[in-house]
Structure 1
Amino acid sequence: MNRATLLPLTPAALLLPIIFLVASEATATETTVVTEGQYVMADGDTLAMAEDKVLQRAQRKAVEEAGIYLESTFHDYESVRNGKSTQVSALEIRTLAAAITKTDVLESRRSFEHGRPVFTIRIRAVVNVDHLQEAVRRWRSEEQLAAHFRQLQKENAELKAQLREAQTPPSGVRTLAIDPPGRTGSQGQARHLLETALHSYNLRQKIDLTSQAAALDPQFVDPLIVRGQTYLKMASLAFSNKSLPSEYSEYIDCARMDFDRALILDARNPWALLGQGDVHTWLNQPEVAENAYTQALEIDPFFDIARQRLIRVTTSQARKLVSTKQWGPAMTTLNRMLNSSASESWIPSQKEAYLLRGELHQRLNQSAQAIDDLSVVIDIDPTHVQALMMRGQLYQEQQHGQLAKEDFEQACILGAPTACEQLP
């Protein structure tokens, strides 16, 4: 199975201006758009993932057709599939969720082209421009806070260094430390090699260049991080080519050593902690991976990549616990993530976690909590049939007939025969 590997383009988040620009004639805050989206199912997609992606494409098209002119800022990442790289925006889905207040699926169909499933969906979307502007404004505010936080960290480190120097007793003899000849030149060469590696698409060349940079400046953390992530990318490509674990385990081990060494040099480097979490995810050690991602977020609360990884690994771990009927540990795992202080803009990315916790609450006969979580899922995705069915059944058990009827009607419209059977 081919799998896309998500890697940062640089050790620091790249910011690219993205402009949604279409002809704008509507002046109303809210406008209704009927549009269509299409998605060709990839090898690594499940049916649910493909359905989500075609809906997102239709929603994005609806936002553009609504006549929105907005300039926002997104983190971009490199995605590699079959040797071809593309870029995806981590915040695109969050922004679409803010813009679209209601989505009605008018038509949904599947077909096959060249042996691959093609999903087509036609929707009626209500787009609220003010909500979108507010989401972007809030995100920019968070970025400013993040920049301020990092500046405070830098100033704090400088003050601590000055304090340590002031507290050091003066010695009788002062010595002048002179860097060895060529050291500054070596550091410059190391940075040049790293920059070249970042722009190279040849993984072996990346390894060679970052290795040279690390040798020239052993205290330079960035080459270790880039080389470690490159090793993980090589492992991912080998995995996608259905190689045996023994054929890519060496890559994972090399990555582990690079990130461990980077953390020895800089224990509070969030990118090194991210890499450490990625390694432990590969090694099927979700608790250790979760701890690494959490540490990265404690250092930089606005480290979006770490937040994405944390959501993914936590949800996956909780799902495994549920499959073995370990309800308590699964609930604890999900609560640890969903009850955190993350921004509300991350809620759409936690849809599967809320759905899973809703299922757990239902199993534990905690109907009110289950309804709350399922309502979050439906707010994110009003076409989520499973959540509608589950909430409808809970309403039915609580004898809230009208609410149950509304959920079953919506699920029936979306093509769920069992929902139609529940209607009078």
Structure 2
Amino acid sequence: MELYWRLFYSSFFVFFLWGIPAFSASTKTVIADGQYVMADGDTLAGAEEKVLQRAQRNAVEEAGVYLESTFRDVEKESGGRSTQTSSLEIRTIAAAVTETEILESRRSFELDRPVFFVRIRATVNVSSLAEAIRRLQSDQQLAQHFRQLQQENHQLRSQLQELQQRPIGVRMLAIDPYGKSASYQRARAMLETALHTSNLREKIQITTDAATIDDRYVDPLIVRGQTYLRLVSLAFSQQAQALDYADYLDKARIDFDHAITLDDKNVWAWIGKGDVLTWLKQWDEAAAAYEQVLELDPFADIARQRLIDVYTTQARRQANTKSWHHALATLKKLLNAQTPESWIPYQKEAYALRSEIYLKLNQPEQAIEDLSTVIRVDPTNAAALVTRAKLYRERLQGRLAKDDLERACVLGSIPACEQLP
């Protein structure tokens, strides 16, 4: 029985709070408060950091908030039958706080738990919101094509065999050297046709023609490169050998490199380059490409997700060879204070890995802090609960250990149940 998942975004909405006037100035100074109730697994330093982050988020919300809403369709196929579910996912992405001044800080107790309060004066950069929107609008067509390629699994299986048997040819086209504007319009019209073509052979041929008509037009190169990568993914899913799709990887690399040469600020060209390097297992170079994307556009979620995967994979490989300090250095690039709070759930595996490394290095306090982060974003993680309970016991914090074991036991952990009285 085969199981396929297809994830695509059927609609994309952008909302603004505070309207256009919020972007009239590049920065805005706001006074905001934050409050945080210390949890069992928190350290004092961790609680102070969290209350400051909450105050900073409140400051950003006062200055202006960018909301990204994506409608996600997930289709599951099994045994010839298909089911589909939909959900609306809304994630708040805040602009960067460029300067923070603490005006007031105090602690109190509420139901025997420490409560942290902080009041700050924050300088918020709101112009980056407008820049992000402009980028999203300009990249929408390429993003739509990128997502479209993720849902073409059924048609592609039959096409791959055809592509392997029949070489892709290039038709000779007459080019008017004095009609650049007209050439661009023709190439753009052809690109529109390619974007709506599901047959990969035709898509590659049309984008090749468009790139030939206007050799300064970047988008056909990116669409063709994305299509080659889709063929790589399909070949891999059919358990092909690396040599079987090496040619597609090389062609994709050439397209994305050429696109970057023409427009070194094109985020989709850099994403494509990072994807090629990831397939080639050149982790450092791939991470550098995704970092470049985020430098150009801090709201490029695809690049941030790719970067999380690359750094986590690289750190796990280093940990498997017992290169603990190298693995920690890799994870440090990923798990830093600048990471938006909304991305922490996506970094759960990285936090869990770092907790394992801290245990190997006999640093239980840091391990507890990372395990607490994992449990906060995934309360059903029984393994993290059992591990943290063991550390609490070693630190003679029996009540906390018992609480974790009870939670893990309820979740079905037999080792946790066996340790309870």
8 Å Cα contact 1:143/1:302 also seen in 2:
no
| Alignment correspondent of 1:310 | 307
8 Å Cα contact 1:76/1:87 also seen in 2:
no
Query: Are positions 1:281 and 2:278 aligned together?
Result: yes
| Alignment correspondent of 1:388 | 385
Counterpart residue type for residue 362 of structure 2:
N
Distance (Å, rounded) in 1 between the aligned partners of 2:406 and 2:256: 52
Q: What are the superposed Cα offsets for residues 126-180 of structure 1, whole Å, 9 maximum, x if unpaired?
A: xxxxxxxxxxxxxxx999843335769xxxxxxxxxxxxxxxxxxxxxxxxxx94
Counterpart residue type for residue 282 of structure 1:
W
Counterpart residue type for residue 197 of structure 2:
S
Shift of 1:284: 0.8
Distance (Å, rounded) in 1 between the aligned partners of 2:215 and 2:260: 13
Distance (Å, rounded) in 2 between the aligned partners of 1:225 and 1:88: 31
| Alignment correspondent of 1:74 | 69
Shift of 1:315: 0.8
Shift of 1:258: 0.3
| Alignment correspondent of 1:22 | none
Query: Are positions 1:296 and 2:279 aligned together?
Result: no
Distance (Å, rounded) in 2 between the aligned partners of 1:90 and 1:220: 37
Distance (Å, rounded) in 1 between the aligned partners of 2:187 and 2:73: 23
Distance (Å, rounded) in 1 between the aligned partners of 2:342 and 2:263: 30
Structure 2: tracts of 5 or more residues without a match: 16-66, 93-123, 136-175
Distance (Å, rounded) in 2 between the aligned partners of 1:332 and 1:367: 18
Counterpart residue type for residue 372 of structure 1:
E
Matched ranges for 1:368-383 at <5 A: 368-383=365-380
Distance (Å, rounded) in 1 between the aligned partners of 2:417 and 2:297: 48
Please, what TM-score do these two structures have when normalized by structure 2? 0.63
Shift of 1:74: 2.9
8 Å Cα contact 1:358/1:371 also seen in 2:
yes
Shift of 1:77: 8.3
Shift of 1:352: 0.7
Query: Are positions 1:262 and 2:259 aligned together?
Result: yes
- Closer/same/farther in 2, CA of residues 196 and 292 from structure 1, 3 Å limit: same
| Alignment correspondent of 1:147 | 130
- Closer/same/farther in 2, CA of residues 76 and 180 from structure 1, 3 Å limit: farther
8 Å Cα contact 2:290/2:306 also seen in 1:
yes
8 Å Cα contact 1:409/1:420 also seen in 2:
yes
| Alignment correspondent of 1:330 | 327
- Closer/same/farther in 2, CA of residues 81 and 262 from structure 1, 3 Å limit: farther
Counterpart residue type for residue 393 of structure 1:
K
Shift of 1:346: 0.5
Distance (Å, rounded) in 2 between the aligned partners of 1:293 and 1:235: 20
Query: Are positions 1:348 and 2:345 aligned together?
Result: yes
Counterpart residue type for residue 374 of structure 2:
V
Shift of 1:181: 3.8
What is the number of equivalent residue pairs in this alignment? Answer: 295
Query: Are positions 1:191 and 2:188 aligned together?
Result: yes
Counterpart residue type for residue 74 of structure 1:
S
8 Å Cα contact 1:227/1:258 also seen in 2:
yes
Distance (Å, rounded) in 1 between the aligned partners of 2:228 and 2:73: 15
Counterpart residue type for residue 257 of structure 1:
I
Shift of 1:223: 0.9
Q: What are the superposed Cα offsets for residues 171-200 of structure 1, whole Å, 9 maximum, x if unpaired?
A: xxxxxxxx9443222111111111121222
Task: Indicate the SS of the match to 2:69.
Answer: strand
- Closer/same/farther in 2, CA of residues 91 and 252 from structure 1, 3 Å limit: farther
Structure 1: tracts of 5 or more residues without a match: 19-71, 96-140, 153-178
8 Å Cα contact 1:361/1:367 also seen in 2:
yes
| Alignment correspondent of 1:216 | 213
Task: Indicate the SS of the match to 2:264.
Answer: coil
8 Å Cα contact 1:142/1:302 also seen in 2:
no
Distance (Å, rounded) in 2 between the aligned partners of 1:313 and 1:345: 19
Distance (Å, rounded) in 1 between the aligned partners of 2:251 and 2:86: 29
Please, what TM-score do these two structures have when normalized by structure 1? 0.63
Distance (Å, rounded) in 2 between the aligned partners of 1:183 and 1:296: 29
Match of 2:204 among 182, 197, 207: 207
Query: Are positions 1:15 and 2:23 aligned together?
Result: no
| Alignment correspondent of 2:116 | none
Distance (Å, rounded) in 1 between the aligned partners of 2:406 and 2:418: 10
Shift of 1:394: 0.8
Task: Indicate the SS of the match to 2:298.
Answer: coil
8 Å Cα contact 1:354/1:373 also seen in 2:
yes
Q: What are the superposed Cα offsets for residues 52-78 of structure 1, whole Å, 9 maximum, x if unpaired?
A: xxxxxxxxxxxxxxxxxxxx7435789
Q: What are the superposed Cα offsets for residues 15-57 of structure 1, whole Å, 9 maximum, x if unpaired?
A: 2489xxxxxxxxxxxxxxxxxxxxxxxxxxxxxxxxxxxxxxx
Runs of 4+ in 1 over 6 A off after TM superposition: 1-9, 76-82, 84-91, 141-144
Shift of 1:205: 1.6
Shift of 1:208: 1.1
- Closer/same/farther in 2, CA of residues 7 and 248 from structure 1, 3 Å limit: farther
CA-based RMSD of the aligned residues comes to: 3.5
Counterpart residue type for residue 412 of structure 1:
C
Q: What are the superposed Cα offsets for residues 232-260 of structure 1, whole Å, 9 maximum, x if unpaired?
A: 00010011011122111110010000011
8 Å Cα contact 2:69/2:90 also seen in 1:
no
